[in-house]
Chain A
Amino acid sequence: MSSIPYILEERPDTGLNNSRLGIWIFIASEIMLFGGLFSAYVFLRFAAPEGDFDYWGSKLNVPMATFNTLMLITSSVTMIMSWASLKMRQFDKYKMYLGLTILCGIGFLVVKYFEYTSKFHHGIFPSTSTFMGIYFTLTGLHVLHIIGGLAVLIYFWGPVAKKMYDEDVELLANRIEVTGLYWHFVDLVWIFLFPILYLL
């Protein structure tokens, strides 16, 4: 077995375990990634001709995106609930809430799929305008993050859930907590994307 300390228990002088610190640093670097793209958006918006971004921005489907926003916020709540259920040792509730989180995530992707394809049907592609370029890049990267998060969530929901719950429930709770932090971050990115792309 591994002899690496502080995988689960907290180091007294830092008050952290390894994975919690690790995920926060990971999120810091993700903030810089999206921060770079957001500042590119600001830069391009200033460089664009007057009214260009407004015109192309009005082509986006606000009701669909609002629905997606609500879905992601719901998934964040259920994510917390699944972690809390684990802490209270309620395995069935854990499965249910995590399942709901996954469903919301998949729902988001489905809506996004219809949004993208309707754009393509109207002949709108990333090359159509700079706004559409940054729209597809930002939301595309966000979708990739959702897919990555879903892969992890499904892994902890399906194949290993029962086994890990029986063997080391605290380890599972720690994994869900850390995955949850990432999932909230991905939601938060959307909370920023939604106004600057759809509403502004």
Chain B
Amino acid sequence: MMVMRYQLAYPETPIPIVGWFFKESGGIMLPENYNTLGAMHGTIMIFLGVVPLAVGAFGNYLVPLQIGAPDMAFPRLNASSYWSYFIGGVIMLASFFTPEGAARSGWTSYPPLSIFESGQTMWLCGMIFLITSSLLGSMNIIVTIVQLRAPGLTWYKLPFFIWTQLITSFLLVLAFPPLEAASILQLMDRLAGTSFFLPSGLVYAGNTVEAYGSGSPLLWQHLFWFLAHPEVYVLILPAIGIVGEIIANNTRKPLWGYKSMIYAISFLGFMSFIVWAHHMFLTGMGQTMSAFFQLTTMIISIPSVVVLTAFFLSLWGGSIRFNTPMLFALAFLPMFGIGGLTGLPLGVAASDIFLHDTYYVIGHFHYVVAPGTLFALFAGIYYWFPKVSGKKLHEGLGKLHFWPSLIFMNGVFMPMFIQGLAGLSRRMYDGGTQYAHASDILQWNEFMTISAFCLGAAQIPFILNIILTLAGKVTGERNPWNSTTIEWSAPSPPLPHINFDEEVKVYHDPYEYSVPGHEEDFCPQTKKLD
């Protein structure tokens, strides 16, 4: 990531420290190296980073705790999901060290190029393992939520985070298999010489391709985006869930519009299956198709706005505690808002024709996943760390982590909108120096690169915080945030394989904060009132 940013700011100059990696060219990054880094950055961040963290780690850890269950429904399936992820991860990372090198066809792996470019076979094998891992994990989460809820925990008493995990898991179970199918087809194209994605009369690198032809590159794009659009919601829904928990806890009042939000995300989950071709307005698939997908895309923005509005209204009149998890959760709201709203011009075919494949798109989705999902994950780590380890992270270091992160995050991604609106294309290994029309906005490249390095440095307090806290003494405090949900009635850390030290029975809605007439300002779900 840093290497890519350095390259964009200072193209055609030897790269310090990691220059030895590009020995043959005297430390200068070649276009194909940049392509490899770009493709693997996307793949690693999405399939090895955010999904395993948000669904694998947070989902697996918190789902049984928040529903008062002793364990996941299928422990062996859980283990096989993990090992499948591990193997997939090893294949992905090992591909850097093979003679062919890692994949370089972008994380989207569009054919026909991906059929010929080197490194793609390893990528596809790795993907098949990673997909299998996600499938197994999400099946487990669904069964756990449906079957293992504690007595008294009815559907509308579930914490919002559980609802987001449930919808996410359904998206994974139903959307990932078509990509697995597509990966198998692409593997066949590469290894068995089929031509599913190769049209007739194709010319590559000056030579006519010897294949049967009559396939279609569009087929891949349809299958790929059928996964990859729901995938966007897989990345954002758990984040929304985490933010919901933290906002309810730190405003000391129930989430505003809890049921509307559940309906909204269920509708969003359904709609996410019929918007995929808005990634394909420029493929010439026809006006009728474009009009349909443009309409569904506009419709799907409504539930996201419902959720965001409910979050903002939840803040209204609350006595907000500005601790580190809450700061990250609060920062999530405008950041995700920017990410979401900048998506609207991309969903309309007319404006997308101009903005497609520019840095505007990069800015848009990074706002959703980097300051959006990533901030929510940070918030979640600060919030649940006391439960996991029995020790609370240091607040001062947490704030030292938060403020620079917020500033530099915007420093990295905000200029991308400016560059994109000026027409700078993405995936340019030289950052656009070869284009005359880009010369006015190239100075931003250096600004973004410096911001990115500062952003990296801003993570030092976070790492330091975790190391220092882990070295400290266990307090074992059960409910340090005075929270209502079930996981806080378990010991910190929870007991292995049974989680709770007493039987869990649920009496209340998830967010009973500041109930009039109650002596404390919170009433845990497991507490029986007379």
B interface, size bucket: 35 or more
CB pair A47 B214 closer than 8 Å: yes
Query: How many pairs of A and B residues are in contact by the CB < 8 Å rule?
Result: 136
**Interface stretch of the complex, out of B8-16, B70-78, B402-410:** B70-78
Q: Which residue of B lies closest to A29 (CB)?
A: B173
**Interface stretch of the complex, out of A130-138, A152-160, A186-194:** A130-138
> Which residues of A are found within 8 Å of B140, using beta-carbon distances?
22
> Which residues of A are found within 8 Å of B214, using beta-carbon distances?
44, 47-49, 52, 130
- With A29-B177, A52-B214, A127-B211 known as contacts, the answer to whether A36 contacts B192 (CB < 8 A) is no
CB of B143 within 8 A of chain A? yes
CB pair B215 A47 closer than 8 Å: yes
> Which residues of A are found within 8 Å of B70, using beta-carbon distances?
3-5
CB of B125 within 8 A of chain A? no
Q: Which of B173, B178, B497 has the most CB of A within 10 A?
A: B178
- With A4-B71, A35-B178, A36-B226 known as contacts, the answer to whether A26 contacts B139 (CB < 8 A) is yes
- With A47-B214, A127-B194 known as contacts, the answer to whether A32 contacts B177 (CB < 8 A) is yes
CB distance from B193 to the nearest CB of A (A): 3
Partner of B196, one of A34, A134, A141: A134
**Interface stretch of the complex, out of B180-188, B329-337, B465-473:** B180-188
Partner of A22, one of B73, B175, B219, B497: B73
A interface, size bucket: 35 or more
- With A4-B148, A11-B147, A16-B147 known as contacts, the answer to whether A29 contacts B176 (CB < 8 A) is yes
A contacts with B: majority SS? helix
CB distance from B27 to the nearest CB of A (A): 42
Find residues 226-248 in chain B having any chain A CB closer than 8 Å to their own CB: 226
Partner of B71, one of A3, A28, A44: A3
CB distance from A37 to the nearest CB of B (A): 5
Contact with A along B57-73 (1 / 0, CB 8 A): 00000000000011101
CB pair A2 B223 closer than 8 Å: no
> Which residues of A are found within 8 Å of B497, using beta-carbon distances?
2-3
Find residues 54-110 in chain A having any chain B CB closer than 8 Å to their own CB: none
CB of B289 within 8 A of chain A? no
Q: Which residue of A lies closest to B74 (CB)?
A: A22
> Which residues of B are found within 8 Å of A43, using beta-carbon distances?
216, 219, 222
> Which residues of A are found within 8 Å of B147, using beta-carbon distances?
5-6, 11, 14, 16-18, 21
- With A25-B173, A32-B174 known as contacts, the answer to whether A18 contacts B188 (CB < 8 A) is no
Q: How far is the CA of A11 from the CA of B182 in the complex (A)?
A: 38
Q: How far is the CA of A21 from the CA of B147 in the complex (A)?
A: 9
Q: Which residue of B lies closest to A30 (CB)?
A: B177
CB pair B192 A125 closer than 8 Å: yes
CB pair A33 B188 closer than 8 Å: no
Partner of A5, one of B142, B148, B185: B148
- With A18-B74, A126-B188, A137-B184 known as contacts, the answer to whether A29 contacts B135 (CB < 8 A) is yes
Q: Which residues of A contact B (CB under 8 A)?
A: 2-6, 11, 14, 16-18, 21-22, 25-26, 28-30, 32-37, 39-40, 43-44, 47-49, 52, 125-130, 133-134, 136-137, 141
22 contacts between A and B (CB under 8 A): A3-B70, A3-B498, A4-B75, A5-B148, A18-B148, A29-B135, A29-B139, A29-B174, A32-B176, A36-B179, A37-B184, A43-B222, A44-B214, A47-B215, A126-B194, A127-B194, A130-B195, A130-B212, A133-B188, A133-B196, A136-B192, A137-B188
> Besides the contacts A133-B194, A134-B194, A141-B184, what 12 more A-B pairs have beta carbons closer than 8 Å?
A2-B497, A4-B71, A4-B148, A5-B70, A18-B143, A25-B143, A29-B176, A36-B223, A44-B216, A48-B214, A127-B211, A129-B212
